[in-house]
Structure 1
Amino acid sequence: MIAIQPLRLQPTPSAGRPPQQASSIMAAVRNPGEQQRLASYLKGTFSAYLVPSIPHIYKVLEMQQTGAIIIDIESFPGEATLLCSQLKASRQFGHIPVILLFSASNIRLRIQCLDAGADALLEKPYSRTHLLAQLRNLDRNRALIKEYLTQPLPDPTPATDPAADASFSHRLDHLISENLYNADLNIDLLARLMNMSRPTFTGS
């Protein structure tokens, strides 16, 4: 496993948002050339962990918080999309964005990647600018979702108007008094006389 420490340069923040600390990115790739490419692209912007095998992926995930996972399909033929689907189905790791790298412009392969739950696809050769933009976009979207989910829920019971409550009670009392000796007086009849449905009238 190759660990690349982050430098001072941080990802360019979106307009109106404060700079964020560099995230840790894990890249699962076996090809030495692709390892060097990713190392050079991520260096100075993200802390990168390059892992050569699937067991290493889970080992790193258990020890290190990861902002995204990059998987090279050619490094794990027949396993990459399965690994992606397993990660996305996991309660523990399913929230982590997954980017799949592939060479062939094959629509069937693209569909397989999307069916596996990949958050983004990058066709090789890709540029450093494209890779970093994709990572920043995924990180920004995840931050927005987290912000939304952590907001307090609004009070489900809206405040009632005392005047409206008094008017409702007065009208209901009047109808009950008028129908006090009506043998058919029941909840359904009262609801109809109040021009309300039974669930609304009873609050159930």
Structure 2
Amino acid sequence: MTSIKSVTLEVADPTAAHRFYTAAFGLGSQIQLRSSEAPTTGFRGFTLSLVVSQPANVNALVDAAVDAGAATLKPAAKSLWGYGGVVQAPDGTVWQVASSSKKDTGPATWQVDEIVLLLGVEDVKASKQFYVDRGLAVAKSFGSKYVEFVTGSGPVKLALYKRRALAKVVGVSAGGTGSHRLTIGGDAGPFTDPDGFAWTTALEAASPGKG
């Protein structure tokens, strides 16, 4: 079964980025950092989501991220599907923090239940087939709008969403050019998908930067 061991964010200043992610989310080896000056503008075509159990945890993580230097794209609030907010890290990565629950059941914690990498793609059906051809199994699929893959016990889940729709969800313009500044480390790679997202082996992904 295909799994994603980590994602590597390419950043201008790995030391500063490591400081931010430690202070904001307390994430470990599932988020790697690598120095890069690859040109990129606008929306980089993906988001990372932290899925938590209750609104209080959403607030705790969003507040910590903002205190550490993140910009608020969407304040934490209730929605039809639950409770969540969106922030943009100083390195430009867009993070969603969300819970399917609208009520708290205990004290706030930083406990993250899942990390979801959501790739914004031009053609969901074509990208879905590309990944299926490389051994990924589909967990959920909603036509040409959304696909979620089975990624086993790996710490990072993978899903596909229409690029323009994803940009709208997180409150940014869909326009963007240049590098995604993202490498996916798992046992399906190495390859580059139709939208330019690069996969490498988990061992190669884990070697550079700090987690």
Q: TM-score, normalised by structure 1?
A: 0.27
Max Rg structure: 1
Question: Which is strand-richer, 1 or 2?
Answer: 2
Q: TM-score, normalised by structure 2?
A: 0.26
